[in-house]
Chain A
Amino acid sequence: MLDEEMPALVAVVEDDAPSRVAIGRLLRARGFEPALFHSAEEFIDAPPARSPLCLILDVNLGGMSGIDLQRHLRQRGSTLPIIVTTGRREEAIRDRAEATGCTAFLWKPFTATALLSLIDTIAGRAHA
């Protein structure tokens, strides 16, 4: 499935450091290369060197929100698969994430299996 020489890159924008590290470790254990960002601004200013398989995007980021980053990317024609996550419980957030073009949505705390199976689906599509 994956490129044999280079593991697929998975970008993560998450302001909570422990969560960011935990997601990064999980991705690495699964054979992906995580590219970690602590803010939407950082992702825009210094995007990953090669194009990621997908983006795991938190909503509440302190500065620019995940929803705004997603809108920003979509307005520029990006088709990057985006998995939006949030620890807030409002359904309205899911509605907004879907309206602005997320590929999938996960409530936190999500399970490792939930996240990895979404990424597998995205990887499968990418290679189809």
Chain B
Amino acid sequence: MNTPIVHVIDDDAGVRQATARLLSAARFTVQTHQNGADFLAAAGRGSAGCIILDVRMPGGTGLDLQAAIAERDDPLPIIFLTGFGTIPDSVRAMQGGAVDFLVKPVEPAILLEAVSRALARDVEDRRARAHRRAIRERYERLTTREREVFLHLIAGQLNKQVAADLSISERTIKLHRARIFEKLEVDSMAEVARLAFDLGIEPEQLT
């Protein structure tokens, strides 16, 4: 597994250095960036970590950067630093990756704790995304017909009802069902129900 990197993005060189020193002393691996564009150019996709970001950076504000990060396939959790009493509503409203809002000046212990939480969150996010990708791949193995049968099954229909709805024999439904279980790598309807939930598939799509 790759070492998580704490990205510190701040236009103030003094702040960058001080923050980096604090984090390094606590054994975190740190990269500093002057602005969002530098970060986006430097940070490899798919690498683990989190971001510490000053909301009030001039030019291409923190919020714009947050939007750019949220559009990536694997957005890193963001710790926002804000001035006292200046947490704008727009920040609150934007949920594309922010996990913490800390008011400057930030106590070192509070920042370290927030970084630990953000890194734990990144691990969780990554695991969830990998899980979703894996089941999505399995689902995509299904043929159009199998997907139809799948939707009926997760709606709680019995083989007989599915057969009637799709005007095919019950025996064929059983064969489809066996193929669906095989392709999805499941052994029971209970597992199929869990998988459908994680895929976010609605049997209502049937109409």
A2 at the interface (CB under 8 A from B): no
Q: Are B193 and A25 in contact, CB atoms less than 8 angstroms apart? A: yes
Q: Smallest distance from the beta carbon of B152 to chain A beta carbons, Å?
A: 13
The complex places the Cα of A90 from the Cα of B128 at a distance, in Å, of 17
A112 near B193: Cβ-Cβ < 8 Å: yes
Residue of A at shortest CB range from B70?
A: A89
How many residue pairs, one in A and one in B, have C-beta atoms under 8 Å apart? 60
| Assembled-state Cα–Cα distance A49/B177 (Å) | 38
CB nearest to A113 among chain B residues: B194
Interface range on chain A (Cβ under 8 Å from partner) = 20 to 34
Could you tell me which B residues sit within 8 Å of A by CB distance?
77, 95, 97-101, 114, 117-118, 121, 124, 128, 131-132, 154, 156, 189-190, 193-195, 197-198, 200, 202-204
List, in ascending order, chain A residues with CB within 8 A of B154's CB. 25
The 5 closest A-B pairs by CB, nearest first: A29-B193, A112-B194, A112-B197, A26-B197, A91-B100
Which of B95, B132, B193 has the most chain A CB atoms closer than 10 A to its own CB? B193
Q: Are B95 and A91 in contact (CB under 8 A)?
A: no
Residue A18, interface by CB 8 Å: yes
Contacts of B77 in A (CB 8 A): 89
- Can you offer 7 A-B residue contacts whose CB atoms are under 8 A? A18-B202, A25-B203, A26-B194, A91-B100, A91-B118, A91-B121, A111-B131
- Asked if A21 meets B128 with Cβ closer than 8 Å, knowing A89-B97, A112-B197, A116-B194, the reply is no
Residues of chain A with a CB closer than 8 A to B98's CB: 89-90
Give A87's nearest chain B residue, CB to CB: B95
Q: Is the CB of A22 within 8 A of B193?
A: no
Q: How far is the CA of A28 from the CA of B194 in the complex (A)?
A: 11
For residue A23, which residue of chain B has the nearest CB? B197
- A92 close to B (CB within 8 Å): yes
Are B193 and A111 interface neighbours, CB within 8 A?
no
Over the window 27-60 of chain A, the binary record of Cβ atoms lying under 8 Å from chain B Cβ atoms (1 yes, 0 no) is: 0111000000000000000000000000000000
Measured CA separation A21–B204 after assembly (Å): 10
Residues on A with C-beta less than 8 A from B198 are: 109, 111-112
